[in-house]
Chains A and B, each alone.
Chain A
């Protein structure tokens, strides 16, 4: 029983440790893993399992153990949590085995941790495979959906299968419950099965009596146990599905008809899924036969294996203390090589030769996100180019890419044919709102065949028919954009933070953590291609075509799919490449300065600006891996046969040797995976470097090292009076690129803007900042009296300029600029430098030259907070708001250009400290 409980806990731990269905809960994960390992530790021992594992055994054991430990260490270092737990537990077990103590409790711990590690390793592989398959298609294939509908019918429910859903009647509505793998065979149950198989196999390897129990008998026992477990799981799955559906319909029955229906969360609650492992645990305990013995019996078996304490010198005087004898070396080496080959085949995306970098953006058939009207200081919303103003617009990304590539547009009047596509290497089709003609589709397809790169950018729920239009193009390539909308399982469904994996696709290898806005998913089917961005912890809703933008209100609905999804997909056709991305919003003008957006666009275009190699080496690597693996198995058998040279001649030690060999092979596999992963990541970086900026535009870095003010996320500012998301966006209207950076990366740009800094500034950073400005860099520090923890003066210290935090000023602002005058409610007085703005006689903005660079300090940041900037960029600003914009642009434009700012006129003393009330955007 403990054995199966342990396996179940480890299976459930993955759902708690990963953002698979719900966001990870590290404490709960840790607790379940520890509990699982403990349960395995106290499980009845295999009757033939060697118990002499601690501080005992021949030197060969120790050498193999040392070798295994050494091979596991890189994987422990490289793997991410919770995957790291698998090699770590094995390593803990092996290390404990080396301790010079042999307390029974330690023996149990060794056995439990090693078994838990092996089980977790098998489960991790299975989970990766599961995610990889379900992200292609969540839906059950025929006839499983029909069978599920039949089962639901048995519950007395009027139900039928309709496509990939099971339609069920209730008084409230007809529920179209998505018949998915996640519902029928959820990860926890699958991992319980895989863990069970791994555990059974591991125990079989541990059996020690080859004479009494020949190899074929062992395999027969193993296969019988696996067959039993398979039957148990197969019998449980339908009942489990019916139980979940029964609970759902019960909750529907009990739901308040006046509230939105909320009855789906038990389908993907990790706790429910963990709870639902109780029946298979009981069934497995009852029906899966294991060769076990009781604890008391264990002690009677143990003396057979009690060996003398380790005496390496005595047993292997001539060989190295670390390296095991040669018969044991070859199989692990081959396994490491095979795993490495598989790893390369899975991770490696050959970059190929680079094209000329001619990028063409298709405006034809696309009314959404045009690139044609510049993002500047004059145009905000009106006149509307389409349904939206300057926000949902790709002018910024066009300008950004123009730094690296030769940009052009295929306008509405242009044809899409071979001739127009001939002068282009990367074709960007973004959000088509009309369908392409068959000839145009053919031309695009030929363009790719001949080596072009095609980037398709879609959006949620077939918005504006974009997915329908693009699916006409990509369906022959084997994949489609789904008409869904992805949400996250976090506290807000709109939060979707993507972090690239350890070995990312080359297109995203420089991608920082990225917030998605409103993405759809891609259905690759079982076509060839690679997921560039695939993530878990997501759930989808289908389009609601009744709403204008087809955007449904997030709700756990029966049609939802959940788990792993593809958000960017790359495939190849002929010599060309195709990359499909699913969230057009994040490249809009208001978004591009946010972390990861520009990097993602650049990475995708650069990937597409390469030709596919003539030969795809990955299938051959896989084949080679299979051959090497076969060789490893063969040599392993030979090594087993040559067990005598190691001195492990007794039947008991034969079992022990087998266990050691298995662990050594696992460690070698981990090592092979780690090395290959690092190699592939390095290869990607080397073969696809960041392209050179041919036409650089000023780069403004928004400081996130010392400034913590809320900025925008997606289309929406995150703060009110303390938020500066719109200020950040508006800076980009000054013919420059903006990017948020922290740490030493803040010196990456031409201008550094720090808004209301509040973190302490180390001396080292201050020195680097001074050097940066001295070498021509520009620093803007914008502060406000509202920033009570201001560290602005720490930044400004090297430049002889400062804010007088205790001198809070208000009044009418005077500058040398030709901008409307403004009343300022609250400003910091500046000291030092040349004043560029005053409130009465008090300077509230000043600049100073330092070496080749300049520094601008502005003390009235709240004038440009999100409230006063209009709260949203989706409405046309009123005159008062426009005047604030003018002041911002009037100060920053000449400063960015390196021009001197005009001094303000002399102050009128009478206006000193005048009390002027600023009460809101409308009155200013």
Chain B
């Protein structure tokens, strides 16, 4: 174990080598690269790519520093550390990933001796510092604000110096690089011989210069971007094979991956530090001498203060690490809104309708009351927000207020908040029209949050993989791969103390005005704020609090299906006023604990401590996050006595890799299906699991071409769901039918798979392609996207849509099971937006088909038939559109 020369007074061996081996330098640099990749410092990278690059860097670090001769124990330690990093780095928490790198570097230090061990230990210390910084940024909103301010200042200074305005936050300012390089530099100065001041000066100059060069490049990024010619891709209607071009590839990196330049520059500086300057000789105690000394010490009386200090250094870091996790990441929430009342202010850019049959109106927020009801809460509207109404309210919801606020109403609102109520303000791109002018900031005047007149434009669609949620009961544990917050295009928020950010949009920019929201097109300019945009913020106010969300989409009818876990958690956290990591005392505690942990680790740098402490922090962080996430697990219940329907909750399975697109408006999206379900009185939600508890609260479960097979527990849950009256509707064509085969077989149904590979004897089904069929008259045709036959395994069951001839199969098959029904449509994309085209008009025949289908298969509903068409003059158009023998006829 390497120790500092001054630590020991006993005989020692002195190693003369004062230059680091190249392999160890490579290992350190690779470890740093992994840490920067983990912390998201390298710019916009897809999460999987970021992970695999990180693993590659870690693999390089391990292989480069793999000792020539290793004992079994060392191999076991390294393998365990590698496995630990491999299994824990997929976590969505950046700090966990960074700390996992620190653990691995510490493990490498543990198996080395002398200077390599010291170098690796310093590397681990530096990465731990970066991990603590990353953790502080995501758990201590005040720290985030401070770092953001520093980043902004850096950008502004460099922008001023190079004559190009540059507005960035901490991410694009490259503070991560400064933290890691700075930590390493400090340790390097301590471990290299005196005089240190000149080296410190030169190192500081190099670091500042590197940062300046990077930021200067960033400031000129727009010019760089426009200097590279835009590729013209040869696409046509008959050919979508584009050609990748260098110019296109390089343009995609600007400015989003320019931080890689900072990585290269800082790596070069660190490499120079390690290689160009001789290190202090490392001494190593003779093991026999050490053993003898320890024996002597055991016989002596050790003062209590020494023991306490020793204990502090031994166990302090771990205990503090656990304290950090508890104070910074534990936010227990309630899973429902039972007994809570949410009052919505009714003067705003609002529409409380939802899609209805025989109406083309689609509405905005019509489902929100249903959703609140499904969680056990009460949702009311108020135009005046009287004191009486507010007295009974737990949460006041103001969605895009667009009228001037009467002073008395404002007073009542803020009085409500001061008394302990929660105010949720939901903004969207401001409007300024004669009779409608956004008035969020009028309402928010007493607070420190302002809605800016801009549009936060995400570089990735729907802020996918671009969120940085800070610790909050509504966000903890949310994975942003599926855009769980539902934010698309809204203004950014300006937040100043004591308000605190909750959701940050990391990879986007702030486009002034609302043009970007209207046109959907907006080029980035360096004068616009790049990265780290606040999309949601919270401020304690009196006994209550104010929460501002920058986009209304998460509450809108179609998006609510996907964002409901976040919306539910948010409402529950506001209604129950749970303690949050955002409480000031918890922020302080978290920050102090982090500083103390780092201080103790740095004061007595030992490899095992750098393994144990970050590992403990990782494990406790993950446990606290999981506990916080689990505590708010929502289970909406559609069995409402107040509703006309027996049960108004419909689930669309999203947990088995369905064939539909998560992009609502895409060709294979399901926006129109959701609207159709809304018309039928359902609250359609995407199911994130198919647990028995979830399904027993719903009436309808829709499965669309899942790629993942259901587990036996899910089979059982669905069987129970159906037998107790639920309707299970499966849309699957032969191409996607294999994963659904087992669950369909449970109900005696089957969609024969296609293609059937060689070596299988299964009878290949015949494709029927896109075909049209008359609904109730030749004029009213509904369409199959790509139809396949559905078969009954035992011949029983009812054919709902089948060819006119007497085939043994049908396009839509129905089977009753207990009190419920199973319906199988042999067409995966039957409910896709493309198949609903043209637009979802009120007389859309697909909608009529669905109305007919749902009214015939839902328990307790009166079967509905389309009204007869006025004109029967066409003989048999189905024959023309579908071809011989392929027209489907709905059967009653």
Contact = CB atoms under 8 A, between A and B. Distances in A.
A468 B241 contact: no
A555 B738 contact: no
Interface string B450-481: 00000000011110110000000000000101
Interface in A528-568: 542-548, 550, 553-556
B45 interface: yes
Question: Contact residue range for chain B?
Answer: 35 or more
A465 to B, nearest CB: 5
A494 B238 CA distance: 10
B65 to A, nearest CB: 12
Contact of A246 (B49, B708, B766): B49
B93 to A, nearest CB: 11
Interface in A157-175: 157-160, 162-165, 167-174
Given A158-B481, A286-B63, A246 B237 contact: no
A253 B460 contact: yes
B659 A174 contact: yes
Contact of B461 (A171, A176, A478): A171
A553 B239 CA distance: 6
B767 A171 contact: no
A864 B759 CA distance: 53
Contact of B52 (A242, A286, A542, A544): A242
Given A259-B235, A475-B758, A550-B767, A163 B738 contact: yes
Contacts of B739: 160, 162
B241 A555 contact: yes
A555 B238 CA distance: 10
Contacts of A257: 461, 663, 666
Contacts of A246: 46, 48-53
A524 B738 contact: no
Contact of A556 (B50, B241, B666, B709): B241
B167 interface: no
A492 to B, nearest CB: 7
A171 B464 contact: yes
Q: Which of A137, A162, A492 gathers most chain B CB within 10 Å?
A: A162
Given A468-B764, A554-B239, A554-B241, A171 B482 contact: yes
A253 B151 CA distance: 26
Q: Which of B47, B461, B770 gathers most chain A CB within 10 Å?
A: B461
Contacts of A251: 46
B256 to A, nearest CB: 8
A260 B49 contact: no
Interface string A301-333: 000000000000000000000000000000000
Contact of A483 (B241, B460, B481, B754): B754
A482 B755 contact: yes
Contact of B657 (A169, A247, A471, A546): A169
Nearest to B704: A174
A468 B766 contact: yes
Given A174-B658, A546-B770, A554-B239, A245 B48 contact: yes
Interface string A489-500: 000111000000
B242 A262 contact: yes
Interface string A205-244: 0000000000000000000000000000000000100110
A172 B46 contact: no
A249 B661 CA distance: 15
A174 B657 contact: yes
A269 B738 CA distance: 32
Contacts of A239: 52, 55-56, 59
Contacts of B20: none
Given A247-B49, A257-B663, A265-B244, A162 B707 contact: yes
Contact of B761 (A139, A259, A475): A475
A827 to B, nearest CB: 36
Contacts of A462: 767
B48 A157 contact: yes
A480 B762 CA distance: 13
A607 interface: no
Given A160-B707, A546-B829, A492 B239 contact: yes
Contacts of B757: 139, 164, 480, 523, 525
B299 interface: no
A372 interface: no
A823 to B, nearest CB: 35
A167 B754 CA distance: 17
Interface string B237-266: 111111010000000100000000000000
B794 to A, nearest CB: 22
A687 interface: no
Interface in B214-254: 233, 235, 237-242, 244, 252
A167 B707 contact: yes
A155 interface: yes
B90 interface: yes
B600 interface: no
Given A169-B662, A480-B758, A555 B240 contact: yes
Question: Contact residue range for chain A?
Answer: 35 or more
* Secondary structure dominating the interface of B: loop
Given A546-B785, A555-B241, A158 B663 contact: no
Nearest to A244: B52
A478 B240 contact: no
B668 interface: yes
B674 interface: no
B99 to A, nearest CB: 17
Given A174-B657, A468-B767, A525-B757, A493 B241 contact: yes
Interface string B30-63: 0000000000000011111111110110010001
Given A493-B241, A545-B769, A252 B46 contact: yes
A554 B656 CA distance: 28
A155 B766 contact: no
Contacts of A260: 235, 240, 242
Contacts of B742: none
Contacts of A860: none
A340 interface: no
Contacts of A494: 239
Given A249-B46, A253-B464, A286-B63, A162 B785 contact: no
Contacts of A578: none
Interface string B324-339: 0000000000000000
Interface in A458-510: 462, 465, 468, 471-472, 475, 478-480, 482-483, 487, 492-494
B481 A550 contact: no
Nearest to B659: A174
Contacts of A527: 758
Contact of A553 (B238, B707, B738, B770): B238
A281 B242 CA distance: 32
A139 B237 CA distance: 30
B483 interface: yes
A154 interface: yes
Nearest to A479: B758
Contacts of B44: 254
A250 interface: yes
Contact of A545 (B240, B656, B767): B767
A676 to B, nearest CB: 31
A243 B52 contact: yes
Contacts of B786: 544-546
Q: Considering the complex of A and B, which 8 residue pairs feature the smallest CB-CB distances, nearest first? A: A525-B758, A250-B46, A167-B707, A545-B786, A246-B49, A555-B240, A155-B48, A260-B240
21 contacts: A155-B48, A156-B90, A158-B657, A159-B657, A160-B709, A171-B483, A174-B659, A242-B55, A246-B52, A247-B49, A253-B46, A254-B44, A462-B767, A483-B767, A493-B241, A523-B757, A525-B757, A543-B767, A544-B786, A546-B834, A550-B769
Given A171-B462, A494-B239, 16 more contacts: A162-B708, A169-B481, A172-B662, A239-B56, A246-B51, A250-B48, A252-B46, A257-B666, A262-B244, A468-B765, A472-B764, A475-B761, A479-B758, A545-B735, A548-B769, A554-B241
